[in-house]
A and B are shown apart, each in its own frame.
Chain A
Amino acid sequence: MRIALRHVFVLLVCAFALFPILFVVSAAINPMGTLASTDLLPSGASLNNFVNLLTSDSYPFGRWFFNSVFIALASSFASLLLSMLAAYAFSRMRFAGRRVGLLALLLIQMFPQFLAIVTIFMIFTRVTELYPAFGFNTVWGLLLLYLGGALGVNTWLMKGFLDTVPKELDEAATVDGATHAQIFWRVIMPLVTPILAVTALLAFIGVMSEFLMANVFLRDPESKTLAVGMYGMIAGDHRNANFGMFAAATLLTAVPTVSVFLWLQKYIVSGLTAGAVKG
């Protein structure tokens, strides 16, 4: 494909991606801030909604921001490790129950989890009584909960990637006397940075937008995450009054994700120039 054609195509898709976001931008800088206004061009431009948002005493946006980023970073790092370990075993080892395990991992994700909240309350009511540090209203309990989803699709993604890394590499290392742990840390991990970065980003985004569990877990206005706090801004009859601030918050929410992406981007595309496997 010609380079120019590529640009045209990508630009079109970017327009599709950005169209609704421009609308949010318009609502965020519109002094009459609302998502229901008809016009893409705001009736005026001001940063009032941002100022109101950042200085609001009923919405501690800064705290939410910090909480979200902290939880998302911690949780994505931990779940990355867990899923990578599992993916390594699934890709490189042959053991009884391997196919069944893989299939189970896939199927478990498909069960409609509407009763999860009830079960979570059953488990964490007990945990809160015994170990308050990991109970309701704590970030640590929420982190543990998020690790429940660490396997799942991410394991599949990394296993699929590992399957494409030639087996001769670790066989050679085995012959050289490396243990499985050494192979994992020294041979495999460096080879899979692109997919590690992608998975980390996906996990990060997943936690940033997670809402249902965080809503029942974090009940202090100060301890909320962005998704929960923002939902509260438009919940009930305050919906209209806060839409301008809400739009501003929506935009700011993208900042951490984009930053993480910028940070990880060089790993994601590392193969592009240097070939798939660096020496």
Chain B
Amino acid sequence: MTQDVHEAVGTDRSPRPRRELTTAFVVSRIAVLAVAAAILLYAVPPLVAAESWVSLTLLGLAAAAIAYLYLTRRFIPAKYLVPGTLFLIAFQVLPVLYTVTTAFTNFGDGHRGDKADAVTAIETGSVRQAPGSPEYGLTTALRGDELVFLLVDPKTKQVRLGTGEGLTPLEGAQVGLTGKVLSAPGVTVLKAPEAAARGQEISALSVPTPGGVIKANGLSRAVEGRAALVYEAACDCVKGNGDTWTADEDQGYFVNAKGEHLAQGWQVNVGLDNFARVLTNPTISGYFVGVLGWNLVFALVSVAGTFGLGMAVALALHHPRMRGTKAYRIALILPYAMPAFAMLLVWRDMFNRDFGLINQFFGLNVDWLGEPLTARFAVILVNLWLGFPYMFLVTTGALQAIPRELTEAASIDGATPSKAFRRVTLPLLLVALTPLLISSFAFNFNNFNAIALTTEGGPFPAESPQVGATDLLITYTFRLAFGAGGAQFGFAAAISVFIFAIVAVISAVAFRRTRKQEEVYA
């Protein structure tokens, strides 16, 4: 076999000695430079326009580094690794880093933005229409370059001119039937599209009045209102409605003397609070061992089951005299070709006690998803169905890498097929597939959808509604983080870090074994 390939390569043999400037070398280098230049040409102008010099500098440095990497003859591994790694960093590593930093904050519903956002929201939310004030009909106009409001009192039909300075009566305006001003001396009335295009200016203009300010409400009405709650920087507090709420930078809320807080808060650093909460929360610590145990069983059985079944079918089909393999293979990958979320819902319906296909088909009356043991069996079965085609495919691929001569040699040596499988085929398969098994373990350890779309963690014992029989660590901790009053991203991030630590340790230990296998071929 090796001989064959030698010859194959031989036909391509280049007679030139190494380390010479070949045409291919020059062309590929020019191509690299051209691509880099094209990307720069595209990427630079918007950055210049946005005046983001930091990004521009980073882009320049990155471009220079990449150009250098592909022009030099050194750093060969990096030439192969950089393209994928760039994307990996942008869309996988950054989210992970972001998650980890979030774990130290109270980021979540009620604490999404910064303090300025919270102040804005508090004040906006407290604006009330001034009692007894009219609903002005609004027409926008230009006085020179300045945007002004022409305000029509609906009762008196009197027209007034509103500017940033205040309200002045306007004589000689023509008012149409709809209450819009058609024309007025000294100003140019804006037509609908012109007004719409100046939407931001219109929102921004406020006409001061003795009782508050007049603001546009849309493009055709204006109202006079005032904010009931007002932020004062001097005391770093919000005052209004006869009460005072002082900023509490530990909680990220404005809190009054009674300890009540305003709804809108902001994101603050909470140190290790979220981690402490994971460790001390009685709902987490009280059930942790039980859930972890089931979680491990679920992940291990899922991996072993899908791999075992997938490999068994792949081996069964891996025989020169096997017929109909094409049709079989299609049938076997079908579960993988359908959208998983749809099929999870289908399975859930099939397990229904009274209306489900499974009870109907086998003449049973089992409450599959209603009893702990059957529910666990059901989710594992469903997961097996969803996952084995993947294992079937990768094993089929990996089997091609095992020279048939090896297994044949083993059988000539008198080994039984099963012995040949265990001594030759399986070890070789595992070389290629162990990392996939580890990664499949990690995936199933955190297989949120497989649980959330079937049993939703249930069945739940009546006396402890927080933890169900099929709950994985990720499903029940996330229920805690997202259940009450919205999402608590900071807490969930801390949970993620813990779960990651558990999976990573298990996986890293398993990974050490691959070094030995790899050395067989190194």
Contacts and interface: CB of A to CB of B under 8 A. Distances in A.
Interface of A: 1, 3, 6-7, 9-10, 13-14, 16-18, 20-21, 23-24, 35-40, 82-83, 85-86, 88-90, 93, 95, 98-99, 101-103, 105-116, 118-120, 122-123, 129-131, 144-145, 147-153, 155-157, 159-161, 163-169, 172-173, 176-182, 184, 186-187, 191, 194-195, 197-199, 201-202, 205, 208-209, 211, 226-227, 230-231, 234, 246, 250-251, 253-254, 257-258, 261-262, 265, 268-273, 275-279
A110 B504 contact: yes
Contact of B334 (A37, A106, A130, A254): A254
For the complex of A and B, the 10 pairs showing the least CB-CB separation, nearest first, are A148-B91, A160-B432, A198-B397, A271-B400, A279-B4, A257-B337, A89-B80, A82-B84, A194-B400, A110-B442
A83 B99 CA distance: 25
Nearest to A159: B435
B2 A168 contact: yes
B316 A186 contact: no
Contacts of A187: 5, 9
Contact of A108 (B93, B326, B397): B93
B6 to A, nearest CB: 6
A40 B316 contact: no
Contacts, number: 363
Given A38-B360, A40-B357, A150-B88, A226 B339 contact: yes
A113 B95 contact: yes
A36 B434 CA distance: 40
Name the residue among A10, A82, A271, A277 with the largest chain B CB count within 10 angstroms. A10
B340 A103 contact: no
A276 B9 contact: no
Contact of B333 (A16, A178, A258, A277): A258
B412 interface: no
What does DSSP make chain B's interface, helix, strand, loop or mixed?
helix
A114 B496 contact: yes
Nearest to B502: A110
A114 B339 contact: no
A86 B28 CA distance: 19
Contact of A115 (B102, B330, B356): B102
A276 B346 contact: no
Nearest to A205: B336
A55 B360 CA distance: 34
B227 to A, nearest CB: 29
Interface string B424-451: 0000100111111011001101100000
Contacts of B404: 275-276
A14 B88 contact: no
27 contacts: A24-B338, A38-B360, A82-B84, A83-B84, A86-B80, A89-B77, A112-B99, A112-B474, A112-B496, A114-B496, A118-B98, A123-B91, A144-B91, A148-B87, A150-B88, A151-B88, A160-B436, A161-B397, A164-B401, A177-B13, A181-B24, A182-B12, A186-B12, A194-B400, A273-B320, A277-B1, A277-B4
Given A23-B357, A119-B98, A209 B340 contact: yes
A182 B14 contact: yes
Given A35-B346, A112-B474, A250-B338, A169 B331 contact: no
Contact of A201 (B91, B94, B393, B499): B393
A117 B20 CA distance: 49
A115 B489 contact: yes
Nearest to B438: A106
Interface string B60-90: 0000000000000000110111011101101
B91 A120 contact: yes
Interface in B313-331: 313, 316-322, 324-326, 328-331
Contact of B339 (A38, A130, A230): A230
A122 B439 contact: no
B291 to A, nearest CB: 15
A110 B95 contact: no
What does DSSP make chain A's interface, helix, strand, loop or mixed?
helix
Nearest to B330: A258
Contact of B12 (A90, A178, A195, A250): A178
Contacts of A149: 91-92
Contacts of A277: 1, 4-5, 403
A59 to B, nearest CB: 15
Interface stretch (B117-125, B139-147, B168-176, B347-355): B347-355
A220 B318 CA distance: 45
Contact of A112 (B334, B352, B499): B499
Given A10-B317, A163-B521, A103 B91 contact: no
Contacts of B515: 99
A102 B84 CA distance: 13
A265 B329 contact: yes
Interface stretch (B42-50, B198-206, B456-464): B42-50
B417 interface: yes
A30 B224 CA distance: 60
Interface string B390-402: 1001101111111
Contacts of B504: 107, 110
B129 interface: no
A127 B496 CA distance: 28
Nearest to A113: B95
A216 B25 CA distance: 42
B33 interface: no
A145 B334 CA distance: 27
Contact of B435 (A85, A156, A275): A156
Contacts of A24: 338, 342-343, 346
Contacts of B272: none
B155 interface: no
Contacts of A234: 345
A40 B389 CA distance: 24
B76 A169 contact: no
Contacts of A208: 337, 339
B500 A271 contact: no
Given A106-B438, A111-B500, A179 B92 contact: no
Given A179-B18, A262-B330, A270-B400, 11 more contacts: A9-B316, A17-B389, A89-B79, A114-B99, A115-B496, A131-B43, A258-B333, A265-B326, A275-B403, A275-B405, A277-B5
A145 B442 CA distance: 22
Contact of B511 (A106, A180, A198): A106
Nearest to B435: A156
A261 B401 contact: no
